[in-house]
Amino acid sequence: MMVERLQTFGDIQLSKPILQALSEMGFEEPSPIQKEAIPVALDGVDLIGQAQTGTGKTAAFGIPITEKVNSKFQAVQALIVTPTRELAIQVAEEIAKLGKYRHVKPLPIYGGQPIDRQIRALRMGYQVVVGTPGRLLDHLNRGTLRLQHVKMVVLDEADEMLDMGFIDDIESLLREVPAEGRQVLLFSATMPPGIRKLAQTYMNAPRSVTVSRDELTVPLIDQVFYETRESIKVDALGRIIDMEDIGQGIIFCRTKRGVDELVVSLEARGYFADALHGDLSQQQRDRVMKRFRDGKSELLVATDVAARGLDINNVTHVINFDIPQDPVSYVHRIGRTGRVGRKGQAITLISPKEYRQLRLIENLIKTRIRRQELPSMADISERQAENIKNQLIKLMQSNRLGSYRAIVGDLLQEYDSMDVAAAALKYAIEGANVDEIENSKDPDERLFGKTGATPGMVRFFINIGRVQQIRPQDIIRWIADQSGISGSSIGIINIYDKFTFVEIPDKYASRVQSCMHQTMIKGRKVSVEPAKARENSDV
């Protein structure tokens, strides 16, 4: 998917390769710590940033590093010291994304990984090394890590490293970096005496930047997440909307293009949605907001920046279609619901690889976000039936049925009362298409028709077979992994040279087809379709 290029990052002038990387990462404008720290760091000034995890501090030092290192010079020019291996990996991943178009290569170094592999990697030449103090010092003592060309040193979560007893190791590392032209960036949530002493000894007239983290004070927000895959994400969102009693909802996407594409997809599925992002003129923005406030659109699809400053009291749901890059954005997003003492719901859609980001959010808000299973078609049908019943009860209680009672009275003289009521309901919902042939009460059964399967099952045709060396256990594992259904529930499997038939319980048929169709198995994209009943006669 194409991503809009940023022209500048807020008011900060950056090179085109960095701006392109930021656009792809979903950044629209700098967080407070980034706004304060990046210009100082780009000027080569030493910096003390008092900021906690979840404030965007990695990019606050990552952007200046990727801007300033020479990507053509194969030597370590920036050293980032972190308290834990997890943080080292996370920081290295972010630097790799930021430096993608400047060809800046970060290398994470930590204990628990074979040292010979790290020695080989260091010989290849990396501009940025991210690591834990003990393992960095080990490489320094072996002569496999050389710091004579290092111009920037970052001490990330310095107070954590002090608490873990790493202060002597840090001093040993700093002493090996040439003092001439050295820039030190120190980030710490608190400033205990040990960190102040370190700053006084090794930093040159540092500038201080302090950013407080917003605390979550919205106990009335019920927070849940659903795991889904990118290929069925919009359909998953549709199911959630159908199940939830959404009065008014805000759906957040990472990019402007993502907002526009989701609005088109939602409208195609019959939902009333409007887009809100930075490309709208003030007049367009006002019109969208008026429609939303007046209840003419039920869903507002927005980017983080566009939703800033919105003051709407009736938002019942906030849905994170894209999980936010910065955990603090999550707090801002979900604060749009649960206003004025009302209860609100925050729903987040994640893919399996986004669990780490979810954990960062949970650490920030000090709350576990509850996992829920995606609603099935049967759940949705049940919910819709409940809604219809409630609407009918309201109509009956209104006592304004006079002329309709006369029509029903005539019909009851000739037809069964249950049939009359059911026909009236069908007419109200589906219209008067009497030619329609409906062989099934279950929408999934209508969809899959007769597939020649055992009763209660749906038979699928898959366009791979013995030629691709497919075995029954491959099919079972593949379906169970992709769709999340139990392998033991899968029925008869018939494998032929170029295709395979497999039976799935009808209650899982929709899920299996949406999860499996056009996915990869044994390096091949496969087609998964309901089998035709006549094919059964050959088997």
Domains of the chain: 16-210 (3.40.50.300), 221-377 (3.40.50.300), 443-538 (3.30.70.330)
Whole-number pLDDT of residue 176: 94
Give yes or no for residue 3 having a pLDDT over 70.
no
The pairs formed by 198-204 with CB atoms below 8 angstroms and a separation of 24 or more are: 198/155, 198/158, 198/167, 198/170, 198/171, 199/48, 201/171, 202/171, 202/174, 203/46, 203/48, 204/46
Give yes or no for residue 536 having a pLDDT over 50.
no
Least confident of 40-49, 419-428, 443-452, 515-524: 443-452
90 residue type, one letter = Q
Residue 317: pLDDT band with limits 50, 70, 90: very high
Q: Which of 349, 14, 364, 39 is nearest to 215 (CA)?
A: 364
Whole-number pLDDT of residue 218: 45
Average pLDDT over every residue of 78-82: 96
**Helices within 183-303 (DSSP H only):** 193-202, 233-243, 256-268, 282-293
Token pair of 88 as six digits? 């080292």
Residue 444: pLDDT band with limits 50, 70, 90: very low
**Helices within 304-459 (DSSP H only):** 304-307, 327-334, 355-365, 377-398, 402-412, 417-430, 443-448
Average pLDDT over every residue of 186-207: 91
Give yes or no for residue 67 having a pLDDT over 50.
yes
Q: Is 195 helix (H, G, I), strand (E, B) or coil?
A: helix
Q: CA 398 to CA 230: how far, in whole Å?
A: 46
Whole-number pLDDT of residue 141: 93
pLDDT digits (tens, 9 = 90+) for 232-260: 898 889 889 888 878 889 999 988 889 98
Q: How many CA atoms lie within 13 A of 432 on its CB side?
A: 1
Whole-number pLDDT of residue 189: 80
Whole-number pLDDT of residue 225: 94
pLDDT digits (tens, 9 = 90+) for 167-194: 999 999 999 999 988 999 999 888 889 9
The most confident of 144-148, 246-250, 323-327, 451-455, by mean pLDDT: 144-148
Whole-number pLDDT of residue 216: 42
Q: CA 393 to CA 321: how far, in whole Å?
A: 35
Give yes or no for residue 430 having a pLDDT over 70.
no
| Mean predicted lDDT score pLDDT of the chain | 83
Give yes or no for residue 490 having a pLDDT over 80.
yes
Whole-number pLDDT of residue 311: 58
Average pLDDT over every residue of 125-134: 94
Whole-number pLDDT of residue 420: 80
Judged by phi (left if over 0) then psi (alpha if -120 to 50, else beta), residue 289 lies in alpha
Q: CA 396 to CA 241: how far, in whole Å?
A: 28
Q: CA 305 to CA 529: how far, in whole Å?
A: 42
Give yes or no for residue 143 having a pLDDT over 70.
yes
Query: Beta strand 221-227 with 299-302: parallel, antiparallel or unpaired?
Result: unpaired
Give yes or no for residue 538 having a pLDDT over 60.
no
Whole-number pLDDT of residue 400: 76
Is the pLDDT higher at 356 or at 219? 356
Phi, psi of 114 (to 5 degrees): -55, 130
Least confident of 348-352, 353-357, 449-453: 449-453
Whole-number pLDDT of residue 126: 92
How large a percentage of the chain has pLDDT more than 70?
Answer: 88
Residue 533: pLDDT band with limits 50, 70, 90: low
Average pLDDT over every residue of 13-31: 88
pLDDT digits (tens, 9 = 90+) for 462-479: 888 888 888 888 888 888
Contact of 43 with 64, CB cutoff 8 Å: no
Least confident of 86-90, 145-149, 316-320, 426-430: 426-430
Give yes or no for residue 217 having a pLDDT over 60.
no
